[in-house]
Amino acid sequence: MMFHPSRARGFAQLLGLFLLAACTLGWAPLAVAAANCNAGAATITMPDVILPSTTPAVGSEIATSAPVTIVFTCSGLPISNSAADHIATIQAGQTLAQLDATNVTTGPGITFKTNIPGLALKVTASPTQATSQSGNVNDGPNKYAGYPVGSVTAPSNAALGSYTGSVSATFVGHLMVTGPITVGSGQLTGITLIPFWWYISGGSANSSSAQMAGVNLYLGASSVRTGSCSVNTDSQNLTVTLPNINAAALNGTGATGGRTAFNINLTCKSASKNVLITMTASNPAATKGVVLPTSGAGNAGNVGVQILNGSSAAVDVTGATSQTIATSTSNGTLSVPYYAQYYQTGSPVTAGGVTATVTFVMSYQ
């Protein structure tokens, strides 16, 4: 008779232990461990740059990258029923690349030091502007330098750990002049600019910032060269005067006369890039190289001006194509030969003045 109550008490104690273990497991914050944010890396690639012969003004931008976008995806939300625990925030920073002396902590953008003295890289971002500011407002629980890129919020009625969402950020690089430029090797070195972290702040289950492994914004290597050309003063706002000719000398559509040579003079430093000139007229004719003249009282009728290169071939004046004037240049003056001539565009030709305007742009490739 005494034996059975003893067994009953042993069973009750064993059940109590199982209940205690179950309660302990239920209290542990397993949902926090299940939440996670991740993304792919991205690289800002600056275009190759050939510096002008005179140093650009401090604060000027000499190159801009194509925009790059990173999509951050967070899963396992919410981590508790608290409203704050529905939100995972992406944080840029903790350890940023070395900042340039010109960096403004509050932005806009983050300005990084480069390996080329006189040049810095400013990184701007959207829809949230990048800054290197730190503090309670701009950081997660670990209070490191950087800014909140964006956040993923689970719906208020989402079951624990059931929600996955994304937020994106787009970055653009700007190569800025900060002083006299010393090119050295001519290579803009690639570096890691910004690492990315994520955190859940507030509510009943805070998390410290956690780094997303391998999720960084990089700067790719590119070329910066000193070789370049500038337009000489005598070729800026250049006026080419054609000789007077008799209207009768133009005897049919396509007839030409009064060919006059002129040069566009450049001062260049040595470079391995192609030097190009593009010509654009606001009123080009259908015939290649022909610019329709100013019309009205006192001006000739049915006569335009045609631009030819040094080989006497018509030059595109629509701006659609460029002429390669040198595959490389050396120190000194580069004179690029051209011709201008009258061109009969229709009949009859009437006497008067002929005035036409062409804009040329020099570039490198």
- How far is the C-alpha of 181 from the C-alpha of 177, rounded, in Å? 8
**For residue 134, pLDDT beyond 60:** yes
Per-residue pLDDT tens digits for 321-357 = 888 887 666 667 788 999 999 999 999 999 999 989 9
- How far is the C-alpha of 324 from the C-alpha of 326, rounded, in Å? 6
When pLDDT is cut at 50, 70 and 90, the band that residue 49 belongs to is: confident
- How far is the C-alpha of 243 from the C-alpha of 257, rounded, in Å? 9
Per-residue pLDDT tens digits for 142-164 = 556 678 899 999 999 999 999 99
Closest CA to 163 of 40, 73, 261, 272: 73
Rounded to two decimals, the pTM is: 0.59
DSSP run (H or E) holding 5 = helix 3-27
Per-residue pLDDT tens digits for 70-122 = 999 999 999 888 888 899 999 898 789 999 999 999 989 999 999 999 999 99
Residues facing 305 on adjacent strands? 291, 342
Specify whether the CB–CB gap between 109 and 171 falls below 8 A. no
When pLDDT is cut at 50, 70 and 90, the band that residue 1 belongs to is: very low
When pLDDT is cut at 50, 70 and 90, the band that residue 25 belongs to is: very low
Per-residue pLDDT tens digits for 253-277 = 999 999 999 999 888 766 656 778 8
Per-residue pLDDT tens digits for 272-289 = 567 788 999 989 999 999
